[in-house]
């Protein structure tokens, strides 16, 4: 009997340890490896590689049992005209929903862009950190919250055409598939997979100070450095990330945002932004911080 008690205590504590991260490193990394493989040729908007990335994300949304959050499906297709290069692009946002258990009309948009810059001079720009890392976390968070829904609804958005000027998020806020006034927060992830100093930045709480205190509590318990900044009220101009990625489109509409990202590294927008340079333990810890932030903010 005594033996059994000790054994069960051991089992309980080992389970607790295993649950220290609810997001699986292997799953995160397999998404990153696929999305940043040479076969996808850098996922440039309106290319075959980009369509293959979209197909991969759609298959996961379906496999995980998520509800479509486009008008009729997960897809939100759109066109836009770019002046540099002069071209009309076809693009597609991918939208999925986990309906809230108590206040479904309050929605948090959790997002990451899946496009990257494609090929240049015959070299594939793989975009492992930028932004296969964000999409990997988006997929694993979607899977987790589908199994563990929150009081508020969560809309998971994989944006297209970020690299051409935040076009996917811009299209979504212009033609939102849920009323814009229902969206209480955007949590955006762009480059979250590596940092030599093991630092992740959160930008947004400077603009929306009411978001800061719970993040401080989560940061204190994190095994990585969680820093705040790159924003008002104390940015230098070049250092301000307020409009550096898709969250900027939400901020323009007055919707609070939190952007999670690392400082630029030597492989940023280089053909060497590869999956083997992602730091799996750091990356998982960042995804875990984001999971905890969502748990906190997705309730009354």
Q: Which residues bind Zn ion (CB under 5 A)?
A: 130-131, 190
Q: Given the complex with Zn ion, which of 162 and 288 has the nearer CB atom?
A: 162
Q: Given the complex with Zn ion, which of 130 and 288 has the nearer CB atom?
A: 130
Q: Which residues of 8-21 are buried (b: 16+ CB within 10 A; e: fewer)?
A: eeeeeeeeeeeeee
**Residue owning tokens 């009081």:** 151
**Residue owning tokens 């080992």:** 14
CB of 190 to Zn ion, least distance (A): 4
Q: Given the complex with Zn ion, which of 46 and 130 has the nearer CB atom?
A: 130
Neighbours of 78 (CB within 10 A): 18
**Residue owning tokens 């001079």:** 121
Question: Running DSSP on this structure, what letter comes out for residue 177?
Answer: S
CB of 62 to Zn ion, least distance (A): 25
**Residue owning tokens 């948090």:** 108
Q: Given the complex with Zn ion, which of 130 and 160 has the nearer CB atom?
A: 130
- Relative to beta strand 152-159, strand 103-113 is parallel
Q: Given the complex with Zn ion, which of 106 and 195 has the nearer CB atom?
A: 195
CB of 268 to Zn ion, least distance (A): 9
The answer to whether 50 touches 115, Cβ cutoff 8 Å, is yes
Kindly state the tokens that stand for 286: 């960042």
Q: Given the complex with Zn ion, which of 190 and 288 has the nearer CB atom?
A: 190
Kindly state the tokens that stand for 60: 């996961």
CB of 159 to Zn ion, least distance (A): 10
Q: Given the complex with Zn ion, which of 107 and 278 has the nearer CB atom?
A: 278
Q: Given the complex with Zn ion, which of 97 and 192 has the nearer CB atom?
A: 192
Distance CA 17, CA 265 (A): 32
The answer to whether 278 touches 25, Cβ cutoff 8 Å, is no
| Helix (H/G/I), strand (E/B), else coil: 235 | coil
The answer to whether 256 touches 186, Cβ cutoff 8 Å, is yes
CB of 225 to Zn ion, least distance (A): 21
Q: Which helix (H) or strand (E) holds 233?
A: none
Beta strand segments in the chain, E: 67-68, 75-83, 86-98, 103-113, 119-120, 123-124, 152-159, 183-189, 199-203, 225-228, 257-261
CB of 49 to Zn ion, least distance (A): 16
CB of 170 to Zn ion, least distance (A): 15
CA angle 92, 93, 99 (to 5 degrees): 145
CB of 130 to Zn ion, least distance (A): 4
């Amino acid at each position: 009997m005594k033996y059994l008690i000790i054994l069960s205590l051991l089992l309980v504590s080992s389970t607790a340890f295993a649950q220290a991260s609810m997001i699986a490193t292997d799953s995160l990394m397999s998404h990153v490896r696929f999305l940043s493989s040479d076969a996808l040729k850098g996922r440039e908007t309106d290319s075959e590689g980009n369509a293959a990335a979209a197909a991969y994300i759609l298959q996961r949304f379906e496999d995980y049992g998520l509800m479509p959050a486009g008008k009729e499906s997960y897809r939100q297709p759109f066109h836009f005209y770019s002046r540099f290069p002069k071209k009309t692009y076809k693009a597609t946002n991918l939208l999925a929903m986990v309906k809230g258990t108590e206040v479904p009309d309050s929605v948090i948009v959790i997002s990451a862009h899946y496009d990257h810059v494609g090929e240049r001079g015959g070299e594939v720009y793989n975009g492992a950190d930028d932004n296969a890392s964000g999409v990997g976390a988006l997929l694993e968070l979607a899977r987790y919250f589908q199994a563990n829904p929150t009081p508020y609804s969560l809309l998971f958005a994989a944006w297209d055409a970020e690299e051409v000027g935040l076009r996917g998020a811009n299209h979504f806020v212009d033609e939102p598939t849920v009323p814009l006034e229902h969206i209480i927060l955007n949590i955006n992830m762009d480059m979250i997979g590596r940092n030599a100093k093991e630092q992740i930045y959160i930008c947004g709480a400077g603009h929306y100070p009411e978001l800061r205190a719970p993040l401080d509590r989560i940061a204190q318990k994190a095994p990585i450095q969680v820093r705040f900044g790159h924003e008002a009220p104390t940015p230098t101009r070049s250092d301000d990330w307020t409009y550096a990625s898709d969250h900027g489109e939400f901020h323009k509409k007055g919707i609070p945002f939190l952007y999670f990202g690392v400082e630029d590294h030597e492989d940023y927008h280089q053909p060497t932004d590869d999956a083997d340079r992602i730091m799996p333990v750091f990356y998982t810890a960042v995804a875990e911080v984001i999971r905890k932030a969502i748990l906190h903010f997705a309730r009354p």
